[in-house]
Structure 1
Amino acid sequence: MAQQNNKNAQEPDLNQLRKVRREKLANLQAEGNNPFEIMKYDQTHHSQEIKDNYDELEGKEVSIAGRIMAKRVMGKASFCNVQDLQGNIQSYVARDSIGEEEYKAFKKMDIGDIVGLKGEVFTTKMGEISIHASSVVLLSKSLQILPEKFHGLTNTDLRYRQRYVDLIMNPEAKETFVKRSQILSSIRRYLDGQGFMEVETPMLVANAGGAAARPFETHFNALGEDLKLRISLELYLKRLIVGGMERVYEIGRVFRNEGLDTRHNPEFTLMELYQAYTDYHGMMDLTENMYRHVAQEVLGTTQIVYNGIEMDLGKPFERITMVDAVKKYAGIDWNEVHTEEEAKALAKEKHIEFEDRHKKGDILNLFFEEFVEEHLVQPTFVMDHPVEISPLTKKKPENPDYVERFEFFMNGWEMANAYSELNDPIDQRERFKAQEELLAQGDDEANTTDEDFLNALEIGMPPTGGIGFGIDRMCMLLTDAAAIRDVLLFPTMKSLPSDK
């Protein structure tokens, strides 16, 4: 109750401060100095650029633009800190340097206001690189109150809902998204250097296939048709391989109607790539080389630390089959499990929940999820999955119960999923038929038959390796971010009553 009373006591103060800011704006507008009518400002430098090139810029005039984050008014001279894209820089603002009227206007400016500031670069007696202002122009008036600077924006929910404030108040948030951009650029440079071509495929689709996930559904009024948001990039990219584009990739949003947690958001960034005339071994080599390249280029090292755990991208990544992994961590040799009944009996013995529709291969995967995943901290390729859980993958010729597939793990997380792609249209039709049966049994994540994709396979698709990367999880690991929402600028949030 005391906290509530304290909160209520503070609210009128905030309301009064907002009222004062609106009055300041009204006065400026009445005087013909409406900051919102200013169209542009000639910005010559940014804060860090000035600090990094001080020897060259000392005594020279620069123009910066940004947000006032601190201000100390001391009679005829004042100091302020201006924050821009690169950081912040101090400015010395004196009445005798900018003129009496402009200084009077500066003193009325508030924390959060956006200004343009021109002046000479110098160093204060305390050794701080600063700008001696000759002009300060108000470019935009802030009508809201920023969080108190010493505590920043600490409310996690509010940080995600008001990312624009988070970016202003928390430099580490901005740095995360700068690194995310660098990661994406580095991926593109690597793939472009390997001869891949970036493409774009539809987000609105009639058949949302290529993954085991529940799609979002919508209606297209103009055609009177129900459509879905894509859950994967796979089937359209394979059509391009059929068309002769031998190396293609796409980085884009996909949408899955599933829950929210630290590693899942219903819309997220997926990268898929397909390469003709290679297999899943080629995808392993590409993955290992690409991760190593990106870490070195963005972080300057292949040794990364996530939540205090060290992971080494410089060493060869471990490669282990799913059967061997289950034997290693669960103590069960799946080669000795010959029937579905034996598999289900083992599951009951180990208290693993399963459904009646689950077959032997499904049970193996449940054992893997229960006993193995958490141990896969260092970069690891888990290979050769059961055919039951891999409807788009080539079977292993020597053992058709398994397929040429791998999942890439780090920190106990699945980071990528790859196949030697199934290019047999007759086999693919049978796999789709099996998926349709699962759908009829209540599996709302099963695929439906895509006749146009089958037609493309009948035209002929070469042997192909393909892989899908979770870009957000990769960004989490490389930026040491605790949750997926920390690497998504605007994560999905439950609407507040005021939003509806």
Structure 2
Amino acid sequence: MRTKISDLDKIDENQNVDIKGRVIALRKHEKTVFLDVEDETGKYQVLVERSIFDSSPIRVGDILNLEGHKFKTGTNHPSLQIREYNFLVRPVDYMTSDSETRELILDRANVENTISSFFRDRGVIKVDTKVLSEYSGSSDIIPFKTSHRGKKDHFLRFTMELELKKLVAKTQMPLFEIGHVFRNLGKSNRRSIEYTSCEACIPYLDFEEGITMAENLFKTLAQSYGKEIGEIPRVSIEEICKQLSGKPNFELTDDMKKIYKKQIKKMDGPIIVASPPGQWTSPLYVQDENGTARDSRFLYGGLGTIIQVCEESTDYDRIVRSISDQQERLRSTGRESSVDPSFLDAMRSGLPPSIGIHISLDRFLMAFRDENNIGRVKI
């Protein structure tokens, strides 16, 4: 039975073991050969008698099954004395063992598992919704387009929000999804055309409860990296813009929005930025009487939004009107757009009062791995 390398420390000396792994280093001596053998859990030093080695030479990169027993060398180094071995794979060419990729795989798995456990513990159910749609959506984001046998166009999703809302409207169940979204925008160190995202739609949660849930999730994720986050301060977008303008009276114009967007990319946080003007955010979010949207964003690491919390609009007439206005605006720029009629049907049947939570896994990993290039956190 195979023993994982990480379990060798629990095994007594002289006890026979069977390990499998790749040779990542090899040191020849007159009577012995030392190998460093690595599996998915770690690496270990292995000793092979030179006579055994010479009868069936091993190369760096070979994947072996090795049988032997534990002992300590003259320098008191834990090792395995190999009795026999056989080759499982002998690669034609071998790339250096990539510990960075292994670490990234584990980090991404940790983030996804932490998010999934957090939501499951609160009764939120994981689902998988479709990635391809027959409808382009009405957004400033230009979707990627493909076709079915060259006949009917299909579009890669740029959000999971609409599909989750459809399901919540039908079932009243709290749902979340982790998956890929695609955005046909420019690429840079901080922007990609493919993102790993988590989106949740949770009915019968009020806006403040949603912010508290997101804050607890952020702190839980930080703890998984050994970082303790205290109380996170909140500031309104109006306060930030007032400081940027240097004037007590100012207008939230498109130019001010551009200045604000540049500023938040410099904010290390953690900080919660709240209450954007309704025209600066999605028309599918609830707006207060003063015209501000119930939309809060967690900023961290100078990377912009890590988590977004919003209160979803349940006003069917407003939703239809907003989508129609957006389609007309896109049409004026030469772009045609289409909206899934089953989404409108679901909204007509009544979406329960719900909170949406959006999490950028890529930006979180950039912040906590201290990376300034999004490509460095993708597998």
TM-score range, shorter chain: over 0.9
Question: What CA distance in whole angstroms lies between the structure 2 residues aligned with 1:423 and 1:65?
Answer: 57
TM superposition shift of 1:336: 4.2
Contact 1:208 1:231 in 2 (8 A): no
Inter-CA distance 213–279: structure 2 relative to 1 (3 Å threshold): farther
1:231 is the counterpart of 2:140? no
Residue identity in the other structure for 1:321: S
The equivalent position to 1:380 in structure 2, one of 248, 265, 271, is: 271
What is the aligned partner in structure 2 of residue 267 from structure 1? 194
Whether the aligned pair in 1 keeps the contact of 2:186 and 2:193 (CA below 8 Å) is yes
User: Judging changes above 3 Å, is the alpha-carbon distance between structure 1 residues 287 and 447 closer, same or farther for their aligned structure 2 residues?
Assistant: farther
The answer to which of 242-251 and 201-210 deviates more is: 201-210
Superposition deviation, residue 480 in structure 1: 2.5
| Distance 1:329-1:279 versus aligned 2 partners, 3 A rule | farther
In the TM superposition, residue 246 of structure 1 has moved relative to its aligned partner by: 2.7
- Work out whether residues 211 and 231 of structure 1, in 8 Å CA contact, stay in contact via their aligned partners in 2: no
1:219, distance to aligned residue in structure 2 (A): 0.5
Q: Which residue of 2 aligns with 1:301?
A: 227
Residue 104 (str. 1) matches residue 59 (str. 2): no
Structure 1 Cα separation of the partners of residues 334 and 34 of structure 2: 65
State how far apart, in whole Å, the 1-side matches of 2:258 and 2:207 are: 23
The reply on whether 1:331 has 2:246 as its aligned counterpart is yes
1:436 counterpart letter in structure 2? Q
C-alpha distance in structure 1 between counterparts of 2:71 and 2:136, whole Å: 60
Instruction: Say whether residues 1:461 and 2:351 are aligned partners.
Output: yes
TM-score normalised by L of structure 1: 0.71
CA distance in 2, matches of 1:462, 1:145: 56
The structure whose residues are more often helix, as a share, is: 1
Q: 1:282 to 1:203 in 2, by over 3 A?
A: same
5 Å-filtered alignment, 1:209-358, equals 209=137, 212-221=140-149, 224-296=151-223, 298-302=224-228, 313=229, 315-333=230-248, 336-337=250-251
- Residue of structure 2 in register with 1:130 after alignment: 79
Q: What TM-score, normalized to structure 2?
A: 0.92
Summarize deviations over 1:286-330 as a string: whole Å, max 9, x none: 11101111222x22332xxxxxxxxxx2x1112111111111234
Say if 2:121 is the partner of 1:193: yes
SS at match of 2:44: strand
Give per-residue Cα distances to partners, 1:246-279, cap 9 Å, x unaligned: 3100000111112222222211211000111123
TM-superposition CA deviations, 1:158-196 (whole Å, max 9, x none): xxxxxxxxxx24x24322321221121111111100110
| Secondary structure class of the residue paired with 2:91 | coil
Indicate the SS of the match to 2:201.
Answer: strand
The yes-or-no answer on 1:50 pairing with 2:5 is no
For the pair shown, the structure with the greater C-alpha radius of gyration is: 1
Alignment check: 8 A CA contact 1:432 1:448 kept? no
Going from structure 1 to structure 2, the CA distance change for 1:77 and 1:172 (only over 3 Å counts) comes to same
**1:90 pairs with 2:17:** no
RMSD: 2.2
Distance in 1 separating the partners of 2:331 and 2:358: 27
Distance in 2 (alpha carbons) for counterparts of 1:431 and 1:262: 33
CA change 1:443–1:478 in 2 (3 A) is farther
Secondary structure of the structure 1 residue equivalent to 2:37: strand
Counterpart amino acid of residue 47 in structure 2:
Y
CA–CA separation in structure 1 for the residues paired with 2:232 and 2:139 = 25
The worse-fitting range, judged by mean Cα deviation, of 409-418 and 429-438 is 409-418
Q: Find the partner of 1:61 among 16, 20, 23.
A: 16
Structure 1 residue 407 corresponds to structure 2 residue 297: yes
Q: Mind listing any 5+ residue stretches in structure 1 that lack a counterpart?
A: 1-41, 148-167, 303-312, 338-342, 344-359, 490-500
Q: Which amino acid aligns with 1:86?
A: T
2:74 partner amino acid? K
Offset at 1:76?
Answer: 3.5
Alignment-derived partner of residue 89 in structure 2: 140
The higher relative CO (CA closer than 8 Å, separation ≥ 6) is in 2
How many Å separate the matches in 1 of 2:284 and 2:71? 64
Percent identity, aligned pairs only, is: 26
| Structure-1 separation of matches of 2:31 and 2:373 | 48
* Structure 1: distance between partners of 2:88 and 2:321: 65
1:369 alignment partner in structure 2: 261
Distance in 1 between the 2:33 and 2:319 partners?
73
Which runs of 5 or more structure 2 residues have no equivalent in the other structure? none
Change (3 A) 1:73 1:336: closer
Aligned partner of 2:319 in structure 1 is 428
The amino acid that maps onto 1:61 is N
Distance 1:145 1:173 in 2: 16
Q: How far is the alpha carbon of 1:239 from its aligned partner?
A: 0.8
The structure 1 residue matched to 2:67, chosen from 101, 118, 138, is 118
- CA shift digits 1:394-436 (9 cap, x unpaired): 111x21x321112221122221223110111100111111211
Report if aligned partners of 1:80, 1:90 keep a CA contact under 8 Å in 2.
Answer: yes
8 Å contact kept, 2:190–2:372: no
Q: What are the residue-to-residue correspondences of 1:469-484 with 2, within 5 Å?
A: 469-484=359-374
